[in-house]
Amino acid sequence: MISQHDFLMNIVETVRRYNYMTDQDPVPTTDLVLRHVTGSLAQTEAQLRPYMQRLSDAHFIFIIHMVKPDRQLRIEQVDGYVLTDRNVISQVLSYYNRKLEVLYERQFYVRKYANGIIRELFNQVKQYNNTPIGMILNTAIMLQQFDQIAASAPREYNDEWREKKLSEILGANRFKQSAPNVPADAGMAGDTAEERIELSVDSPGAAGGPHDRQRAVDTEAYLEIENMDLSGKWGDAVQRFGVEFLLRIHFRKYEFNTVRHLVNARRVARERDLVFIRDTIRKLEGRLNADPELRNHVRAMADLQAAVLLKLKMIEMAKRDQQPTDPDF
């Protein structure tokens, strides 16, 4: 029986073959992928989708919701897939931009460049759902946004990061049955059982005991970086509710610029809080297709992620400066 990892890599190669096609649509849909990878692990589209999501979470692919489902109109969801390689995204986007220009001219009898068409129809995407121009429009919009996401965090879109993340996902999935039963719609990132496992792995101090944590904060530079400004009403709110609770409120209200200001002003400075922001943004990036409102905040999300990654890099450098003194280290 084929392993999950090998099965997922077969899916990636199938998506890759389609993405490099120049004589036909380069974005394969779920049914097309299924034809090429059908095996004991997935016999139907419903069985295949969780595997596509794992590849998306590991940044091997981006998922494009080309057609949104509508129960009343009996419209089924149509997903397409593209590699997270920016060169591939650019090539595929060029194809869809050209196709969008042709369809727009054919339908409206006006010739326009793709960017102008997107600006004009951006707020009307739902109106054109499940139409030829709607599918092309939605795909072009999402490809632009995916390119921005990949550009904002290049280290998360290289082979080493992908393989490491996929190993974590597959490992967490093996122990999913032993995780607490938490409703999937309980809240933002980290609220489902599987997401809690992932966050706990990345959180400071998770890998060792008190001795390990003490070593991480020995240097004055580290303490200075993590020193939070808790003055005023913000400090009072932190004392009452905690940083993570307050951040969740801002994220639910799409206030990414506000969170960035808090980070830059050192109102949020502890490593575990920065890691929470980083991981939340990653998960929200995977939900762009499901939440149209998020599409209006892609740049703000990218700016926030950049600010957080810079702070985490400073903390990492401060830790590195602390040389171990324990001979048994």
147 with 203, same domain: the answer is: no
Question: What are the angstrom distances between the C-alpha of 186 and each of 181, 182, 281, 294?
Answer: 11, 7, 17, 19
Residues 19, 147 within the same domain: yes
Residue 231 maps to a domain: yes
Per-residue pLDDT band for 185 (boundaries 50, 70, 90) equals very low
Among the residue ranges 1-5, 22-26, 72-76, 222-226, the one predicted with the least confidence is 222-226
Give the range of the structural domain holding residue 122, as residue numbers without chain letter.
4-155
Residues 61 and 81: beta-carbon distance below 8 Å? yes
Q: Which of 155, 189, 215 is the last residue of a domain?
A: 155
**In this predicted model, what pLDDT tens digit does every residue of 72-114 receive, in sequence order?**
888 888 999 999 999 999 999 999 999 999 999 999 999 999 9
Does residue 18 form part of some domain?
A: yes
Kindly report the pTM of this predicted structure.
0.57
Residue 208 has pLDDT above 70, yes or no: no
pLDDT tens sequence across 128-144: 999 999 999 999 988 98
Q: Over 80: is that where the pLDDT of 182 sits?
A: no
Question: Exposure pattern of 230-251 as b/e (b: 16+ CB <10 Å)?
Answer: eeeebeeebeeeebeebbbeeb
Are 250 and 289 within one domain? yes
Looking at the 3D structure of the chain, how many domains does it have? 2
165 assigned to some structural domain: no
Task: Give the type of residue at 90.
Answer: S
As a whole number of angstroms, the distance between CA 251 and CA 248 comes to 5
Tally of helices (H runs) and strands (E runs) in the chain: 15, 2
Q: Does 66 share its domain with 202?
A: no
d(CA 186, CA 108): 44
DSSP secondary structure, 248-309, as one string: HHHHHTT-HHHHHHHHHTTSS--HHHHHHHHHHHHHHHTTTTT-GGGGGGHHHHHHHHHHHH
pLDDT higher than 80, residue 30: yes
Question: Hey, CA dihedral for 159, 162, 165, 167, is it positive or negative?
Answer: negative
The predicted-structure confidence for 297-325, as pLDDT tens digits, reads as follows 888 888 888 888 888 877 776 676 554 54
Same domain, yes or no: 88 and 185: no
Residue 164 falls within a domain, yes or no?
no
Tokens matching residue 67: 């057609």
Final residue of a structural domain among 121, 155, 189? 155
Query: Alpha-carbon distance 279 to 190, whole Å?
Result: 8
- 211 part of a folded domain: yes
For residues 109 and 243, state if they share a domain: no
Half-sphere exposure of 101 (CA within 13 A, CB side): 11
Q: Are residues 229 and 306 in the same domain?
A: yes
